[in-house]
């Protein structure tokens, strides 16, 4: 049985323009950004419910632009005085657990996730600046954005999609079609240029 909240969310999703990612996975256009179907609920919940703290560090990027590298570097710098290299949580804990994604993980699992981390909270997202929750833009939290050469990003994303689709029956776009989609902005968390220019 669906709740009224679930019904209204489904009605909302049906109003969104749709597209296809490079592996034929469905995308929804929300606030001028293409989001994968699996994370649209997390995106909306993040935008509506997240409350930034002034001590937060928000890491943001387009997919395949150095997000993991930025997470590891930031976590290491922030925690450099808390433990030795041999005792670093980076050795034993998956990085995306230490620095979780807001819209693609925490808010996807719960509309009100437990964000009771010791300050500074290091969190990440692929959300364009103009679509960030107002609480982030109104707070004194730090936003760290990483950008990559568009050619490098599109090649990395192309190979990522290819590896992710291994064993899938969905059709894959050709190299030329992927390039055309990138130029039109049709890719997960695209358009790339809107993301870059918004920061």
pLDDT 10s digits, 86-127: 888 988 999 999 999 999 999 999 999 999 999 999 999 999
C-alpha dist (Å) from residue 189 to 14, 15, 32, 126, 176: 19, 18, 10, 7, 20
Residue 157: which of 131, 130, 195, 187 has the closest Cα? 187
Which residues are tagged catalytic?
A: 126
Q: Give the CATH number of domain 36-148.
A: 3.40.50.300
Residue predicted with more confidence, 12 or 171: 12
The Cα 141–Cα 137 span in angstroms is 8
Token duo for residue 7: 């019904």
pTM of the model: 0.90
How much is the pLDDT for 98?
95
Instruction: Calculate what percentage of the chain has a pLDDT beyond 70.
Output: 98
């Amino acid at each position: 049985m669906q709740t009224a909240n679930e019904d209204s969310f489904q009605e909302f999703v049906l109003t969104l323009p749709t597209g296809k990612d490079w592996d034929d996975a469905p995308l929804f256009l929300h606030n001028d950004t293409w989001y994968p179907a699996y994370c649209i609920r997390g995106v909306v919940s993040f935008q509506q419910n997240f409350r930034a703290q002034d001590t937060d560090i928000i890491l943001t990027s387009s997919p395949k632009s150095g997000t993991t590298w930025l997470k590891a570097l930031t976590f290491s710098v922030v925690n450099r005085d808390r433990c030795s290299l041999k005792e670093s949580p980076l050795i034993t804990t998956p990085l995306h657990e230490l620095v979780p994604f807001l819209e693609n993980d925490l808010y996807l699992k719960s509309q009100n996730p437990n964000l009771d981390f010791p300050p500074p909270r290091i969190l990440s997202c692929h959300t364009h600046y103009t679509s960030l929750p107002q609480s982030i833009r109104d707070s004194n939290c730090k936003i760290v954005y990483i950008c990559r050469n568009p050619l490098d990003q599109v090649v990395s994303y192309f190979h990522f999609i290819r590896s992710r689709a291994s064993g899938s029956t969905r059709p894959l776009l050709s190299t030329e079609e992927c390039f055309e989609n990138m130029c039109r902005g049709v890719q997960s968390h695209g358009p790339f240029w809107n993301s870059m220019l918004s920061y």
